[in-house]
Amino acid sequence: MFRGATLVNLDSKGRLTVPTRYRGMLNEESEGQMVFTIDLCQPCLLLYTLPEWEIIEKNYHNFLL
């Protein structure tokens, strides 16, 4: 797991690119499967590997029960 902030721009087709310095690590940890979501407190996107997101989903589901 890592944390960081990077300003990125959308390309002409409205796509977001993951900065090069993060791509290798993210691909190793997630095999290219990632989840983007919004932060409810700040105007930003959050990026999770699929295994990390599944833990968050499980914790959220358990909280609702």
pLDDT band at 1 (very low <50, low <70, confident <90, very high): low
CB 8 within 8 A of CB 23: no
pTM recorded for the entire structure: 0.67
Per-residue pLDDT tens digits for 17-55: 878 887 888 778 778 788 989 989 988 888 888 888 999
pLDDT at 4 over 60: yes
Looking at per-residue pLDDT, the higher value among 57 and 64 belongs to 57
* Domain boundaries, given as residue ranges, for the chain: 1-65
